Chain A
Amino acid sequence: MAPAKDAVLDVRKISKAFPGVKALDAVDLSLRGGEVHALIGENGAGKSTLIKILAGVYFKDEGDILFNGSPVEISTPSDSLKLGIKVVFQELSLIPHMTVGENVFLESFPLKNNRTIDWDVLYEKTQDLLDTIGLDITPKTKVYKLTVSQQQMVEIARALSHEAKVIIMDEPTSALTPNEVDHLFNVIRKLKERGIGILYVTHKLEEVMALCDRVTVFRDGKLISSREVSETSTDNLVTDMVGRSIQTLFPRSHAGKGDVVLDVRSLSTEKKLREVSFQVRGGEVVGIFGLMGAGRTELAKAMFGLDAVQSGSISIEGQELRQGSTSQSTRMGLGYLTEDRKGEGLVLQMSVAQNITLPSLEDISSAGFIKRKEETTRSQEFVDAFSIKTPSLRQKVMYLSGGNQQKVLLARWLMKKLKVIILDEPTRGIDVGAKAEIHRLIDELASKGLAIVVMTSEMPELLGVSDHIIVMCDGRITGEFSRESAEMEKILEAAIGQKEYRYAEQ
């Protein structure tokens, strides 16, 4: 593929191998100034490897990198920074206990008589940057106090702080809510106007369509296609990514509404929740939607007994849960799929099988002794059923891809005989193929009579999977919709607290 004449960044025949895998196989990619270039592909396609090479975290085995037409060597992060390449990583790279200003200028502090840090200048400059990207926080706020989306904006501010020529964004919207996404898109368009080239790595095809000028597809470390967005469609992109065309529609086989299984009554917590009440029936999927900071995760944790509850009650099949006891919750048949896979979900240095069986150890043990054979057979069932890609049950789970890790977590809860499961962002940061499978599973579980709560910030997913939608804003329930009555606009109105919807009004 001929490099574009005005390419800022031109990657030629880059290859990178790790023991056992060829992560990148002679891929090309060229990025023009002032364009948004989408890089898509399933997990393991080699996107992250390329990013890491460009960021100087990895070093390429073969190939050349041209910057403004001249070949460059990127062997350390600082090399790439000097060139003006800035990567906004998926797991955000900010220091929690430092202020926004410090984080923005960490690489190059403004100095007084080039010795000591000039705090005034630092905080003034930061303020300007925050204004340009329209982020309404003070530069002296400690980062750990910010929401994920705000942190992301800080990252972009950092990119702007030292005139980046190229900004690489790795799944920037995976943690954002729709209107935050809009905001991000506007910022990106601003960057475009400044002539900055943006490499936009994502799973979400609708974003490619909405935002990007060109799109390049990787699969299994190889370059599959690279074209103008205007000349392509989601369907062929999907085909390019997975090498086969897959069913993206949400399957709906479950119908029957059983009796109320989960009953949450005016639940309040010290920090966030205010009088949250709702019910979930057997075989029903309730989708809970809310913007960042609306209190979805807080609700999940409070229901499950991870966080302290101030007042209110949670009962399963009429039996009230003792507060703050996760062990009792699980015994009563309540499961919680956390949004933070690595941080709160998996025990990374444990094997696939051990992770799957963790909550169900009693079921596969007698007199406290774990039955090894049963453990393997039971977990093997799930590995097959979910087609989890792993060399063996003994593989440490840390070596699995994001999608497969998520399936392991799901398998963990399905092995345990549950009555209710809370899924918090079940498809965050996993690829199209895996996504569809997980949606299929949700449906399957519902049809088995399980009561399901799905917390999501992805509108299509919400509308796709839920029989019943609850919208939260600032810890309160501001909207309730049946599947039929649900409309994107109404949901958003409720989510930003502009208008409230109750069944009564419909």
Chain B
Amino acid sequence: MFSSESSKGGLLTKLVLFNEIILVAVLVVISAAISIGTSQFYSTSNILNILRDSSMAIIAGIGMTMLLITGEVDLSIGSLVAFVGVVTMDIINKTNSVFLGVLAGLGLGAVTGLVNGLVRTKFKVNSLIGTIAMMMILRGSVYLYKLEAVQNYHQLETFYSVGNGYLGFMPIPVIIMVVLYVVFLVILYRTVPGRRLYATGGNEIAAKISGIKVDNLKILTFVANSVFAAISGIILVSRMNSGQPNAGVGFELMVISGVILGGTSLGGGEGTLVGTLVGLLILRVINNGIIILRWNQDLQIVISGLIIILAVYIDNKRKVARSKIITT
């Protein structure tokens, strides 16, 4: 029924047709509501803190968005974040070189992504299952690697500043995030590989026939996704100042939720980084708001859950409205 209303083509409908606008509206409303409840919300410190904290999720979200666009998914990033953190810290302790530590962390990410990609493309294992398995494997491996949290023996300032430092008034993680975000925004919308991601997710065989190396592209995306997760892991370990084997629990679900909230479809072929950015910010703002409003923290998961359903519902409404325009 709603479809027939919304297909009448009023201004409102036209807006409904753009998912991002709704999301931005939601974000604004929530922020407004919170700031009515408490004045601290709009303090620069809180804004920066929200940005710094969401930067990890957003960086991972960039990769996850691209992966979902190709029609795949990765549930192993949470465990990967922990593993990367532990390895990075450990290597820096041993070598006293931030560079080598970061290199090891990113390397680990790349390898994990490669394995995920190969399992998907060569073994043909559905990526949902394949990466659930990888989630277990990594979580097990990190404890096999180090049972205890790895303490910071090196006390290197550069390492500490990766997660906690500022450039001017901007937290460094935010700067890293913004740079990556802009670069991949351009790649996704303006370049050949970007276009090919959408084509692959939209219709794999058609992409193949158009001369796209679908498997390689997917493997590459898995690698990219894991490397992004690794970057988040490195930021996290710097912020925690110790490599925690138990870190990143539920990280993957949070990121995926935000990406989907941002209008990326699980079916592949559709999705925007703008949506991802807004989607993840919404989730983060809800969590932040509930705490600074001193509400019961358990509301965090409840409200997030409801918001996601709502957003997807609106997104469907939009899709149905569109599809009704198909003629015979």
Contact = CB atoms under 8 A, between A and B. Distances in A.
Contacts of B202: 347-350
B189 to A, nearest CB: 9
B198 A347 contact: yes
A101 B198 CA distance: 40
A110 B202 CA distance: 41
A301 to B, nearest CB: 9
A44 interface: yes
Given A358-B210, A359-B210, A370-B195, A349 B270 contact: yes
B14 interface: no
A46 B328 contact: yes
A345 B7 CA distance: 29
Contacts of A359: 210-211
Contacts of A231: none
A399 B208 CA distance: 23
* Chain B interface category by residue count: 20 to 34
A412 B199 CA distance: 14
Contacts of A330: 210-211
Nearest to A359: B210
A18 to B, nearest CB: 5
Contact of B209 (A44, A325, A345): A345
Interface stretch (A128-136, A195-203, A360-368): A360-368
Contact of A368 (B9, B193, B206, B269): B193
Contacts of A399: 325-327
Contacts, number: 102
Contact of A370 (B192, B206, B324, B328): B192
Nearest to A221: B328
Nearest to A337: B209
B318 interface: no
B203 A326 contact: no
Contact of A48 (B193, B195, B210, B328): B328
A357 B7 CA distance: 30
B210 A44 contact: no
Contacts of A21: 327
B191 interface: yes
A159 interface: no
B122 interface: no
* Chain A interface category by residue count: 35 or more
Contacts of B196: 361
Interface in B206-232: 206-213
Contact of B203 (A19, A44, A304, A348): A348
B190 interface: yes
B328 A23 contact: yes
B205 interface: yes
Contacts of A181: none
A20 to B, nearest CB: 6
Interface string A375-398: 000000000000000000000001
Interface string B300-324: 0000000000000000000000001
B182 to A, nearest CB: 14
A343 B205 contact: yes
Contacts of B203: 343-348
Given A362-B192, A370-B195, A349 B211 contact: no
Interface of B: 7-9, 190-193, 195-196, 198-199, 202-203, 205-213, 269-270, 324-328
Given A326-B211, A369-B192, 12 more contacts: A18-B325, A19-B324, A52-B328, A326-B209, A326-B210, A329-B211, A330-B211, A344-B205, A346-B203, A349-B270, A370-B195, A412-B210
15 contacts: A18-B326, A18-B327, A326-B208, A326-B210, A345-B203, A347-B198, A347-B202, A347-B207, A349-B270, A350-B202, A350-B269, A354-B198, A358-B199, A359-B210, A365-B191
Q: Which 4 A-B pairs rank lowest in CB-CB distance, beginning with the nearest?
A: A330-B211, A347-B202, A359-B210, A358-B210
